[in-house]
Structure 1
Amino acid sequence: MCTGKCAKFIGVSLYPLCLISIVCNVIQFFPGWETEPVKNPGEQMTPEVIYLGGLIGGGLMMFLSIIFAAIGAVGSLYGFAVSTVGMVKGPQCLYSLNLSISDSKWEDNYLFKREMWKYCIYPKDVVEFNVILFSMVIASTGISLILCTIQMLNGLFGCLCGTCRNKE
C-alpha cells in the first residue's frame, strides 16, 4: 500500500474514533444523567472529566502532515492517560453515609470490588457510568495513538520515498 492510500485509510478511520471520544467526554459531564454535578464541577465531578481528555485528545486529532500526526499522537496519549487515571481513581460520589468517597479504601481497588459500587448512591450508577465511558475513551484514544504513529511514519516515508502518485 503506498503512502497516499495509507494516509487516506487512516484519516477516514480517525473520524469515528474522534467523534466517540468527544461524545463520551461530553456525556461524562452528566454522571448518572444528572445535571447537578455540572453546576458544582469542583465538588461533584470527577476531575479527569474536567481535564477534557476526550475533547482534547480525541477532538484535536489532526492528520494532514507529520507534525499534525504527532500532535494527534500526543493528544491521544493525553486522552488515554487522563482517562486511565480517572478510571483508576474512581468517581466522586456520595455513599450511603452522605460523605464524599475519597478515602484510600475506595480508591485502592474499586474496579475489582464490584460489591462496593452499590454504596455510591448519588449520582445513581455513576461507577458503571464512569467505567463504561472512560473505557470507551481509553480504547478510542489508544487506537488513535497507534494510527497517528503509523501516519507519522507514513508521512516520513512519503517525504523520503515519494507518495506513489502518478506524475502527469
Structure 2
Amino acid sequence: MFFTRCAKCIGGLLLGLAILSIVANILLYFPNGETQWARENRLSRYVWFFHGIAGAGLVVLLPAFVFLGLEEEDCCGCCGNRTCGRSCAMLGSVVAALIGIAGAGYCLIIAALALAEGPYCETSTGWTYPFQNTSFNYLSDHSTWSQCTAPPRVVTWNVTLFSILLGLSGLEIILCLIQVLNGLLGGICICCCQQKTQSYQC
C-alpha cells in the first residue's frame, strides 16, 4: 500500500539522518581532531547539550524504526482484522512522528543558538566567546575568525558541524511533518476503504 511504503521510505531517510547527526555531534568534542580540548573543558557550552546525539539522533531513531516496521504491522487486535489494524498503526505513527519533531526541534534550536554565540576559544584577552554579540555577522566576516588562536581552526570546525546539525534536524522535521500528514491520510483512507468492503465499521 502507498501510505505504508511512503512511511518506510521516510523511516529509512530518518535513520540515515539520525546516524549522521550522532556522528556530527561526536565530532564537535574533538576540534581539529584533538582530544585535549574536551579533557580541559575548553569547548563551547552548547556542545554539551547532546542535541545531535540525543535530540536529532536517539530520539529520531524511535520514529524511524516505527515507520520502517509499518509495512509488516497489522495490529490484528485493534479491530479483529488486518486492514483495520493497518489503519490503527498508521494513525499511531503520527504520535511517533510528533516525538521525532520534538527531538529534531531541540537539536535545531541548540544548533542555532550555538551558531549565534560562536565558539569558545582563546583570544588575546583569554578564553572567551569573542563572537557572542555579533548577531551572526561573524559567519560572513571570515577575517574575524583569526581572533581564535586555540583550539586550531575551531571557528571553521564549529560553524561547519553546527550548520550540518541545523540542516539535518531541519530535514528530520520536514520528514516527520510529511509522515504526520501521511499517517493521518493513510489511517483514514484505509479505514474508509475497509468500510466500503465490509459489512461492519472499523
Structure 1 residue ranges without an equivalent (≥5): none
Q: Identify the structure with bigger relative contact order (alpha carbons < 8 Å, sequence gap 6+).
A: 1
- State the secondary structure of the residue aligned to 1:158: helix
CA RMSD of aligned residues (A): 2.3
Aligned AA for 1:16? G
| TM-score under structure 1 length normalisation | 0.88
2:24 paired residue number: 24
Contact 1:80/1:142 (CA < 8 Å) preserved in 2? yes
Per-residue Cα deviation, 1:110-151 (whole angstroms, up to 9, x for no partner)? 212211111211100000000111111111110000001111
Structure 2 residue ranges without an equivalent (≥5): 67-92, 198-202
Per-residue Cα deviation, 1:32-74 (whole angstroms, up to 9, x for no partner)? 2221222233xx1111111111112221112222111111011
**Rg larger in 1 or in 2?**
2
- Bigger shift: residues 58-67 or 11-20: 58-67
1:52 paired residue number: 50
Alignment partners' CA distance in 1, 2:24 and 2:11 = 20
Tell whether 2:170 aligns with 1:142: yes
- State the secondary structure of the residue aligned to 2:120: coil
Aligned AA for 1:51? F
Shift in alpha-carbon separation, 1:117–1:133, aligned structure 2, 3 A? same
| TM-score under structure 2 length normalisation | 0.74
Alignment partners' CA distance in 1, 2:138 and 2:32 = 18
Aligned AA for 2:28? Q
The number of residues matched between the two structures is 163
Identical positions, percent: 33
